[in-house]
Amino acid sequence: MISIRNLNICYGQTEVVPDLNVDIARGEFFTLLGPSGCGKTTVLRAIAGFVPVTSGQILLDGADVTRQPAEQRNVGIVFQNYALFAHMSVRENVSFGLKVAKKKGAEIKTSVDRMLEATDILEHADKKPEALSGGQQQRVAIARSLVMGPQVLLFDEPLSNLDARVRDDMRKEIKRLQRELGFTAVFVTHDQEEALSMSDRLLVFNKGVADQIGTSRDLYSKPATPFVCEFIGASNKLEIKTKAALGIDAATLAYIRPEEIALAKDGEHAATITDIDFLGPISAIEVRFQDELLHFSAVGSDALHGLALGQEVRLNIDRKKILCFEKGVLVQ
C-alpha cells in the first residue's frame, strides 16, 4: 500500500532522515514510534506531501507520489491540534473536502451524515469547534478526513492533547473505526504504551534511522538494538558487578525485563530491599544486588507480606531471558 524507498530528507544542511525503507500493507495499523525530534513526524508529513523529499521515493498503491502536491494525494491527516476550521460549523468542516471536490449537495449531505454518525458527533453537527470538548474535536478531525474515503489516514500524535481518560476512549475509538472502515493507518507517537496497544506493526525511530520494524511482541521480546530495548517497556540495565555475578562478559550490554526477576524463598541470589512502592494490583520493588540496584514488581498485596526495607531476600533471575547486545546487535 505504502512503500518508502531510500527516503532521504534534509532541512538545509541537517539530514533528518538519512535512508529509510519500509512497506506498509493495506489495512494495516502502522506506528512510527520514537522520542521527540527523531524524525517520525517528518516522515509522516513527507507521506502527506508537506515536506519536500530530498531523494528517494514514496509509492502509494504502486504509484509514485514523491513529487505530487499534497492536495492531489488522497491522503487524510489528523493533526495533533486537530486543525479544525474555527469559522465553520462541524458539518461545514466535514463537508469542506467534498465541496472542494465539487460533489453534489445531496451526495455531500448523505456522506457527511453517515460519517458524523459513525464518529458519534451527529448531534453536534451545527456547533462551532470551540463549543466542543477535546475528544469531540478529535472526532470531527477524523470524520473530516475519513469522509474523503482516503487510501491512507495519517495521525500526527493525535492523542497528546487529551487527558488520560479521554485518551483511552479515543484509542479504542480509532481502532474501532480502522477495523470497521478498513483504511490503512499510519500513526505517529512518542508514547510507547499507546503504540504497543494499538499497532499491528511498529517502526522504532532513533535519530532518523529505523532501528527495528515489527509487531509489539517482537519489539518487546527481541529488541534489535539497545535503544529499542530501553525505549520499549521497562528494563534493568545490568552493571558490571551484576554481570560478573551472572556470568556475563563485561563488554556485553545486558538488560533484564522486570518480570524475569522474582522473589523466591529458596532463590539463587541474595539481595537487600531498598524501596517498596505499593501501587494496588502490583507493587514496584527495588533491591540492592551486588551493590547495584534492580527494579521489578510483585503481583498482589500478599506478595508484600512480611517484606520491609533493609530486609535480606532471595531472588531468581532467569539467565536465559537476559537480553545481550554485542556491537549494538542482539546476540541472545
CB of 96 to another protein, least distance (A): 6
- Cross-strand bridge partners of residue 31: 187, 202
C-beta of 94 vs 203, nearer to another protein: 94
Q: Is 161 in the site for another protein (CB under 8 A)?
A: yes
**H runs (alpha helix) in the chain:** 40-48, 90-100, 105-118, 134-146, 164-181, 192-198, 216-221, 226-231, 240-246
Near another protein by CB under 8 A: residue from 40, 144, 167, 269: 144
C-beta of 146 vs 195, nearer to another protein: 146
Applying CB under 8 A, which part among 1-9, 72-80, 255-263, 304-312 lies near another protein?
A: 72-80
Helix axes 164-181, 134-146, angle to 10 degrees: 20
Q: How many residues bind another protein (CB under 8 A)?
A: 33
Q: Is 75 in the site for another protein (CB under 8 A)?
A: yes
State the sign of the Cα–Cα–Cα–Cα dihedral 87, 93, 99, 104: negative
Q: Is 72 in the site for another protein (CB under 8 A)?
A: yes
C-beta of 145 vs 225, nearer to another protein: 145
Close Cβ partners of 63 (under 8 Å, ≥ 6 residues apart): none
What are the cell numbers at 117?
Answer: 454518525
Q: Is 11 in the site for another protein (CB under 8 A)?
A: no
**Cα 47 to Cα 91: distance, rounded to the nearest angstrom:** 27
**Cα 76 to Cα 153: distance, rounded to the nearest angstrom:** 5
Near another protein by CB under 8 A: residue from 83, 246, 273, 304: 83
Q: Is 96 in the site for another protein (CB under 8 A)?
A: yes
Do the bridges between strand 184-189 and strand 29-33 make them parallel or antiparallel, or are there none, so unpaired?
A: parallel
Q: Is 107 in the site for another protein (CB under 8 A)?
A: no
What residues numbered 30-69 form the site for another protein, per CB under 8 A? 48-50, 69
Amino acid making up residue 144: R
CA-CA-CA-CA torsion for 147, 148, 152, 158, nearest 10 degrees?
Answer: -50
C-beta of 101 vs 329, nearer to another protein: 101
Q: Is 329 in the site for another protein (CB under 8 A)?
A: no
CB of 167 to another protein, least distance (A): 14
CB of 180 to another protein, least distance (A): 22
**Cα 259 to Cα 264: distance, rounded to the nearest angstrom:** 13
Near another protein by CB under 8 A: residue from 137, 216, 236, 242: 137
Rg (the chain; Cα; Å):
24
C-beta of 24 vs 44, nearer to another protein: 44
Residues that bind another protein (CB under 8 A): 48-50, 69-77, 79-87, 96-97, 100-101, 129-130, 137, 141, 144-145, 148, 161
